[in-house]
Amino acid sequence: MDAKLHITIPAGLHSNLSPRMPHYMPPEWTTHVSPEGGRFFVNSIMQVVTDTNIHDLQLYQRLQYGITEFQALSSQLDKGLPNHSELFIQLANPADEKCGQCNYYIVDHDTQTEYWLHPVDPYEMGIFRVTSESHIKYALQVHYWAHVEYFPHRPIPSTKRGELINILRHAQLDHLTSMTSTFPYGIKECEKFQAALLHVKEDDPDNFYTTSMTARLWAAVSQYKFDNCHGEEYARLDRLQYIGEQPVVQKNVGLTILFGLLLGFPKKVNEDLESVYVDDIVCETHWKKFMCDMTESWKDSRLMAIALFIMNAVFLVEPKGLASTITGLASICCCTGSLMCALVLLHQYSNGPKQTAAEAVEHLSQIEHEKYRLQPTAAVFSVPKAFVTWSTFFLVTEVFSIVLEFCTSAATLIVAAVFLTILGLLAVRSAVQYGMNRLHQYRRKSDPSLGSVLRC
């Protein structure tokens, strides 16, 4: 479309004053506009839908040739097409006047599926990881509901809306009683979806807007069932459960040392990342929560780093001994590194909490390492918190060194004893906490009864 095209508005345009000059419209065809603004054409007699501009006589003639070819092909079927089938057809290349090739698919409104009259490779249709013919049913349902959403001229039975409400209610309860629900939408989203479906006007339940809205939700539910192999032998009942082959993460001495230098923080971050990204699937609710938690952690590290930098600057003003000077400089270096890394990560992931599941999957697939998976990413995410912790440790050591420089021998021993006692208590507390966590994890893995009812 030419953006510089100038049009003069005729007198009385689009009012009762203007003469109605309709576009060319073939017999038995009607024009419709979807809620999002897409124009499409329907032939209710032949049960055909197209988005090709049939106002153009030449395009219509080429499209009609494709429809005729399809009718000839379907007439050769022993049983014929199902009663409530609908053909979608469009010109493959409308700009090429010599090209008469058409793309097509058929939808069956009784079984809510998409099909063709010839064998089709699922990969060509964008359908991956198919385990069986029964499994592919849900992928074809996703395509069917997408068709209904884009071309909502046929109303959806009220029973399907009722079934959808029941699915959302169950998903809401599943989230309330389980931390590992597989449903892609959270409690608040399910509640809002139910409210939207329940507020459908009884006097006009079959308008385009209601049909399109319901179809979009059904497409999401069908995609959820396909991703989790609903009804299959190895259905995913827990979002942490792998259906495909679980990736093998190779061990690396360098990463092990790096995790130690970062005080073990990357281990927790890596566990959270692995729980969010299973079988190349991301649950949007959990991804947003993870990114919100990481963003808050980086913001806290940023503020803490600024405070530590100011405190270290104050201590370095006055001349002191070598030990306190070295620890002070080390603290400044760590808090500066924490501040810089936090700023970079906050800028890089400014839209992280707003990303959709598809965007999150694309991003994680790009940063995933071939051998070490998400461990390098977890290490990077942990740098601000680890560096600010090291900076705090060096600051405490600096203060301790300053105290020792101005104390007598007896006072020095007392201060040292208190300092070592505090460190010992902290070490014992960390060891006990680590042991309790390991015991809790072991019990959950070894006792099959835990989580079998509510999966909490």
> Worst-scoring range by mean pLDDT, 17-21, 40-44, 255-259, 382-386?
17-21
pLDDT at 107 over 80: yes
Cβ atoms within 10 Å of 203's Cβ, excluding its own: 5
pLDDT at 11 over 60: yes
Query: Percent of the chain at pLDDT above 90?
Result: 50
pLDDT at 394 over 80: yes
Q: 125 falls in which pLDDT band (50, 70, 90)?
A: confident
DSSP secondary structure letter of residue 151:
S
Q: DSSP labels for 170-239?
A: HHHHHHHH-SS---SS-HHHHHHHHHHHHT--TT-TTSHHHHHHHHHHHHHHHHHHHHTTTTSTT---ST
Q: How many CA atoms lie within 13 A of 92 on its CB side?
A: 10
As a whole number, mean pLDDT of residues 170-176 equals 94
pLDDT at 38: 93
Query: Cα(316)–Cα(401) distance, rounded to whole angstroms?
Result: 13
Taking alpha carbons only, the member of 123, 188, 142, 149 closest to residue 49 is 149
Token pair 């990413």 is at which residue?
Answer: 377
> Worst-scoring range by mean pLDDT, 17-31, 46-60, 86-100, 288-302?
17-31
pLDDT at 455: 34
Over residues 145-159, the pLDDT tens digits come to 999 999 999 999 989
Q: 422 falls in which pLDDT band (50, 70, 90)?
A: low
Query: Cα(46)–Cα(70) distance, rounded to whole angstroms?
Result: 11
Sheet hosting strand 113-115, strand order edge to edge: 29-33, 39-43, 48-50, 85-91, 102-108, 113-115
pTM of the model: 0.78
Query: Cα(190)–Cα(196) distance, rounded to whole angstroms?
Result: 10
pLDDT at 189 over 70: yes
Secondary structure class of 348 (helix, strand, coil): helix
As a whole number, mean pLDDT of residues 301-312 equals 92
Residues 105/111/117/122 CA torsion (nearest 10 deg): 70
pLDDT at 410 over 80: no
CB 362 within 8 A of CB 325: no
Q: 453 falls in which pLDDT band (50, 70, 90)?
A: very low
Over residues 368-388, the pLDDT tens digits come to 998 999 999 999 999 999 999
CB 67 within 8 A of CB 89: yes
Token pair 């069917």 is at which residue?
Answer: 144
Query: Cα(228)–Cα(204) distance, rounded to whole angstroms?
Result: 35
pLDDT at 313: 85
109 is written with which tokens? Answer: 């409104």
